[in-house]
Structure 1
Amino acid sequence: MLLDIEPAVLTAGERTSLIALLKMIAKERHEWHPTPQEALLVDDFVRDLNLQQTILEEWAAKALEESANPRPRNGREQPVTAERLEDIVEDLQKPAVLVVENRLGDGGFIRAVAEALRDERLSYALHPRRAWLKFCNGGGTGQMPKLTADECGEFAVVIRVAVLFDSDRTSHDVPSPNEQKAEEARRAGARHVHVLTWRMMENYVPFRVWEAVFPGKPGAVRQIRATIPRQRGYLHLKHTFVGRRGSMPSLWDRPLDLNEDDFHELGPDVVAELRQILTMIHEIL
């Protein structure tokens, strides 16, 4: 998460919380671009610690050097104040939360998209040893607004919760039945909510994945390849591959080394929407 740390934090902030905050920044869990004056304050603070905090010393020296060319603010920075420093640091230490309908299916999808679109920061954050982002299972779209409220309640100041809904639309010219649930999730405290344009996550699965998961059904893959995106995006692909009563196997267990072209092949607007979802996740990460 991109931070805006007020100068009072560096001069009057609670010491233990400030050290924890700076360590998270030094480890690139969160991002902060201090001005030259702020970088000097940090450098003095770290030197005065005299605790052999090597990672902090290295980061403070680098920040001091980079502050000569400050980055412009974009208006999306999270304010960090001395008054609420302890609560804010506690929030920043927790994993960010993405509420989804199916933790394994949607979680695997997000991991695959991050790798294919070369989102190194998100892939790094999703490593099991870090777990800076967790996928929270909604158990169906009906429970997602309430689950969103519960997850938002875990944060005191910085609500780091986003929600990803299937649209469940049956064609391009009908509204999503989940728009009302999305609005409920926003009212529950989640500022970042995305409703998929197409029917569900499976409609964004590259053809190569279907070929790998269902090698015995080349006809079904040829069928969806031949269908134009405006129609294919709203098919119930589970029914196409396993029938109405069948169970969909995991789609993301095979190392296929997907790339942007695999998703672009699905339709001209797919990659843009996927990047929009990744940007939303970065807003809470």
Structure 2
Amino acid sequence: MRVELTGEAFTTEGFGLIVTLMQYFVESRHDWVVDPGQLGGVDAYFRDHAPKMAQTYGLLASKGLVSQAWTVTAAPRSRLVSIGRESLSDHVWDLGRSARFVVENQEGDRAFILALAHVFGAKDIVEACEKGWLEFVQGGGSGEVPKVVRHEEAAIRRVKRVAFLLDSDRLMPGERSKHEAAVTELRALGISGHVLDFREAENYLPNRVLAATIEPPERLTEKIRHLKTLTSPQRAHFDIINGFWDRKNFCAAIPAAQQDLYGDLAESVRVGLRHGFGHGLTLVLHREAEAGNVKETDFAALGPTVAEELKTLLALVREII
């Protein structure tokens, strides 16, 4: 996060906390935003209280001038936190904890976010995850996510470094997500989150990634050929994992709630996609993205707003780290 320290924060009794913050800045865990008028006071403070580290902290302050000069066009910006004398202890506590991103499936959604970070150049998110500054919290299913978010929020003193992600579970385009009421309540508490536009995270996987899944080549090629015949709205709400499979009657079938979307689908396509592409798909996405095999244009091909939505999702993560 971007952190500014008011002049009143630099007190003798708060020295230990100030040093802790300096360590966060040294390791680039957070960025120090410094006003030019503060340099003299900061230099004097450390020459009095930590003469051996005064030069190092002075260089940090000078670096902070660059952070202060950033503009919205220069680089993605995280949230700005202002720390004063009274809030110093609480803020140091919050900034020392890992940011918490609550998801439905820890392994799968973590892979999804990190894959996007690789594709869209969000190296800070990858680094934060590797160093333990960002943790993905298991929500235990969409219905439990709001409860887990509230639990995480309760441990926070001032800076709400908690956010969440939910599949929309929409079966039809434009359908109201069943999670919207819970999301509205969480946002009223000052907690940010994102509900995917598409049905699930797996619906965002480009065809080239699906082609990298483990399955007999001929069968996989045929399945992807059928997938390409779907319109953008059909692909966005298709059950990528399970396909058009009626578990009760053991046959290919279109769910009743999706008849208007898929009712005119050719029988050959319905049968060809009856089994879907299976589980673990976002892990494949992460592997391929990390290897440099996925580009932004692959996501853009899924729809005109997809790339921007995914960038917005990454910005949400960046706000809490």
TM-score (structure 2 length as normaliser): 0.78
The 2-side partners of 1:199 and 1:219 are apart by 23
Shift of the 173–107 alpha-carbon distance from structure 1 to 2, 3 Å rule, reads same
Residue 123 of structure 2 corresponds to residue 87 of structure 1: no
Supply the distance in 2 between the matched residues of 1:270 and 1:13 (Cα, whole angstroms).
50
Structure 1 counterpart SS, 2:100: strand
User: Is the partner of 1:194 in helix, strand or coil?
Assistant: strand
Match in the other structure for 1:183: 184
RMSD: 2.7
What is the deviation of 1:120?
Answer: 1.9
Secondary structure in structure 2 of the residue aligned to 1:97: strand
Aligned to 1:234: 237
Residues 198 and 233 of structure 1 are in contact (CA less than 8 Å); yes or no, is this contact kept in structure 2?
Answer: yes
1:213 maps to amino acid: T
- Identical-residue share of aligned pairs (%): 30
Matched letter for residue 112 of structure 1: A
DSSP 3-state at the match of 2:82: strand
Answer yes or no: is 1:24 the counterpart of 2:27. Answer: no
CA gap 1:204/1:3 in 2 versus in 1, 3 angstroms: same
Distance 1:171 1:15, change over 3 A: same
Structure 2: 5+ residue stretches without partners: 244-272
Q: CA deviation at 1:119?
A: 1.1
Q: Tell me whether 177-186 or 109-118 shows the greater mean CA deviation.
A: 177-186
Q: CA deviation at 1:14?
A: 0.7
CA distance in 2, matches of 1:6, 1:44: 15
Structure 1's 116 and 214: CA in aligned 2 closer, same or farther, altered over 3 A?
same
TM-score (norm 1): 0.87
Alignment of 1:132-143 (within 5 A): 132-143=133-144
Aligned to 2:39: 39
| CA pair 54-259 structure 1, distance change in 2 beyond 3 A | farther
Q: How many residues align?
A: 280
Residue aligned with 1:3, SS: strand
1:95-129 residue CA offsets vs partner (Å, 9 max, x unmatched):
101100001100001000001001122122122xx
Tell me: CA distance 1:46–1:204, structure 2 relative to 1, closer, same or farther (3 Å). farther
The CA distance in 1 between the partners of 2:274 and 2:23, in whole Å, is 49
Alignment CA distance shift 1:280-1:247 (3 Å): closer
CA distance in structure 2 between the aligned counterparts of 1:148 and 1:219, rounded to whole angstroms: 42
Q: How does 1:1-285 map to 2 (within 5 A)?
A: 1-11=1-11, 14-48=14-48, 49-52=50-53, 56-63=57-64, 66=66, 70-71=69-70, 76-127=79-130, 130-187=131-188, 189-216=189-216, 217-240=220-243, 243=275, 247-248=279-280, 250-251=283-284, 252-254=286-288, 255-257=290-292, 258-285=294-321
5+ unaligned residues in a row in structure 1: which ranges?
none
**Deviation of the 1:173 alpha carbon:** 2.5
Corresponding position of 2:257: none
Distance 1:153 1:183, change over 3 A: same
